Structure formats: C-alpha cells, structure tokens
Chain A
C-alpha cells in the first residue's frame, strides 16, 4: 500500500520547455488535488478533481493543465515553463476533509 506516489522527485527545466508531473494513489479516493508550495506563500491549490472525469481550477491555475486519467491517476502539465513556476509540487488524495500527500516534486525552471 504505497499511498500517494509522485514522479519525478526532481526536475530542472529551461524556460519554455514542457513537462508532466505524475501522481497516483492506491487508496480508492474520489478526490485528488495539486498544490504548489513556496516560501512565504504556503500551500496553494492549482487544480483539483472531485471525481474521475472532472477537474476544476484552484487558486493559481494559470500556466498549468491537468488530466484525471482514471480514478488512480491525476497528472499536472506545464506547457511552457516559466521561472515563476519554480516550486515544490504536491499531489494529495482526499477522503472527506482529510488530505494525504505525496512526497513532492522539486521543480526548478531556469
């Protein structure tokens, strides 16, 4: 029972490159979220998926897209990376109000 897994753990991109962050959960939860965490800004919600087949914008969606591939997987895509997207990205799986986080992806955009 791995909980929430995220890949990759680390990534360095050049401005303008694209990449997809992968997240998977094995807890059979309906809801999944993507956050970014920055010093002094805390956790900010990028996108969320309340159930398979649905996605909605969070607090800071600009520059990102998401796909809820199936109940287990929720991916986050950066189409054209910018230095302002340098951050630590966390995926979370939600049961009622309890959120279970993955280990995070540290992304640097140069």
Chain B
C-alpha cells in the first residue's frame, strides 16, 4: 500500500461547479500537507500549504485536513476552465525525512465551459 493514495481521475465538471479533490494517507506522523497544481507540460506549482489539522482558505480554494481520518481535501468553488490541470497532494512529517515530500500520483481535472 502506498503511503499516499490519490484517485487519478480524470474528473470532468462544468464551469461553475464545486470540485472536491482528495488524498488519503497512512503515516500518522505527517504534519505538513500541500497541494500543487500542474498544467500540461509545465512544472508543479505550490497552490496551498497547511500545517497539522484544520482548514485554510485562499480565494476560491479551500484546503482541509482531517488527521483523525488521515484524509485531506482541496475544494475549488466556482471552477473555471483555467483550473483545468493535474492536482497533486504532497505531505511530510514534522521532523526527520530531511523535509522530503511524499507525493500522490495526481488527479487530472477538466473544467468544461
């Protein structure tokens, strides 16, 4: 079993829909949780960053961490065609691991106008 599981999709939604992207993990030591967005033929870019549990909001994006269920989510409100990309989750424990991230495989999202 992988340490981080992420459904690869693809996920296709109409413009304006609320999108929910999720990852599950098995290592209870993970404390840092990140979401990256990767457009086709580009490098990943950091979208949101959460430490420990709780929610974080940035514009149309909300990141949620449920450590009791070992489950993280990224919600996109009022989705736009420009949100079409692959979304990767990544996580790391607080110490050790030399700050290396454990990556999900990514979920491909298409927002249709």
Give A residues with C-beta under 8 Å from B.
4, 31, 33, 40-43, 45, 48, 50, 56, 58, 90, 92, 94, 96-104
Contacts and interface: CB of A to CB of B under 8 A. Distances in A.
Main secondary structure of the interface of A (DSSP, over half): strand
B76 to A, nearest CB: 21
A44 B41 CA distance: 17
A97 B43 contact: no
B24 interface: no
Q: How large is the interface on B (under 10, 10 to 19, 20 to 34, 35 or more residues)?
A: 20 to 34
Nearest to B49: A98
B99 interface: yes
Contact of A50 (B46, B49, B92, B98): B98
B42 A100 contact: no
A96 B101 CA distance: 11
A103 B99 CA distance: 22
17 contacts: A33-B100, A40-B105, A41-B105, A42-B104, A42-B105, A43-B44, A43-B88, A48-B98, A56-B98, A90-B44, A92-B43, A94-B99, A97-B49, A98-B49, A99-B46, A104-B41, A104-B43
Given A42-B106, A48-B98, A101-B45, 10 more contacts: A4-B43, A41-B105, A56-B98, A94-B99, A97-B92, A97-B99, A98-B34, A101-B43, A101-B44, A103-B43
